[in-house]
Amino acid sequence: RRIRFLVFAASLRAGSLNHRLATLAATVIEALGGRVDFAAMRDFDCPSYDQDVQDLDGFPEGAQEFRRRLEANDAFVISSPEYNFSVPGGLKNAIDWVSRFRPQPLNERHGLLMSASPSMAGGNRGLWALRVPLEHLGARVYPEMFSLAQAHQAFTENGWFAETRLQVWFERMIVGFMDLVEAAKHYPCAKTA
Ligand code: FNR
């Protein structure tokens, strides 16, 4: 069985730079023999978390879908914008909802984080903020992260990086992550086994 990756961009807008980066990650994963389940952030759209709503009505469709897709895959890849040096509210809200399921679907799941921004920092501070709830929930967040600076100028028309050096760096990181997810399937107590 080939390893399966849930890949999505945590942006809702049509021209999203993070969507382009997530698409390139999906292309590379497939070229390396992995299977990709490409999701849209809209699939995981949830009303603002409210415990009264959860107690009365249960989980919204977006949270149920997020759980289903996490559990249907071995690992996840998120390309997230940085909003005000932190995690976009929609993504944090979806994580808050999904954290209330038992068993909790992010626990022991491997994840790779990336970001794209027109700025020089490439959204990197947002990824450090995103690590906090994910690691708290037991996700195995890959140590290396990829932040694409000046992302509005970084892509060629066919969706690859204009700079070969970046493309090589990106592919090496994905190879490392895929190797880890593959190896984790053989750990005796891993969820992905
Ligand atoms: C931003 N942007 C932004 N960029 C950045 O590098 N650091 C930041 O802290 C912020 N903060 C921020 C807040 C809000 C509310 C918005 C709407 C935007 C700019 C952001 O990186 C840019 O809009 C990206 O293009 C968003 O990602 P997508 O939608 O292109 O994937």
**CA 11–ligand 1 middle distance (angstroms):** 10
Q: Which residues neighbour 170 within 8 Å (Cβ) at sequence distance 6 or greater?
A: 24, 25, 28, 146, 161
Domains of the chain: 4-184 (3.40.50.360)
Residue nearest to atom 14 of ligand 1 (CA): 83
**CA 89–ligand 1 middle distance (angstroms):** 12
Q: How far apart, in Å, do the first and last CA atoms of the chain sit?
A: 11
Determine the residue type at 146: F
Determine the residue type at 75: A
**Residue 152: its pLDDT value, please?**
97
DSSP 8-state secondary structure symbol assigned to residue 48: P
Integer CA distances (angstroms), 149 to 23, 106, 155, 170, in order: 17, 28, 11, 13
- Residue 116 CA to residue 154 CA, distance in Å, equals 10
**CA 99–ligand 1 middle distance (angstroms):** 25
Residue nearest to atom 23 of ligand 1 (CA): 117
**Residue 192: its pLDDT value, please?**
47
**Residue 193: its pLDDT value, please?**
44
**Which pair of tokens denotes residue 191?**
């969820």
| Closest atom, ligand 1, to C-alpha of 85 | 9
DSSP 8-state secondary structure symbol assigned to residue 47: P
Residue nearest to atom 2 of ligand 1 (CA): 83
ipTM over 0.95: yes
Specify the pairing of strand 140-141 against strand 146-148.
unpaired
Integer CA distances (angstroms), 49 to 25, 93, 124, 147, in order: 30, 6, 26, 29
| Closest atom, ligand 1, to C-alpha of 18 | 31
Q: Mean pLDDT in each 10-residue stretch from start to end of the chain (193 residues)?
A: 93 97 98 97 98 97 98 98 98 98 97 98 98 98 98 97 97 98 78 48
Q: Which residues line ligand 1 at a C-beta cut-off of 6 Å?
A: 9, 11, 13, 16-18, 81-85, 116-119, 121, 123
Supply the DSSP string of 121-140, one letter for each residue.
STTHHHHHHHHHHHHHTT-E
**CA 82–ligand 1 middle distance (angstroms):** 5
How many other CB atoms are found less than 10 A from the CB of residue 36? 19
DSSP 8-state secondary structure symbol assigned to residue 161: B
**CA 85–ligand 1 middle distance (angstroms):** 9
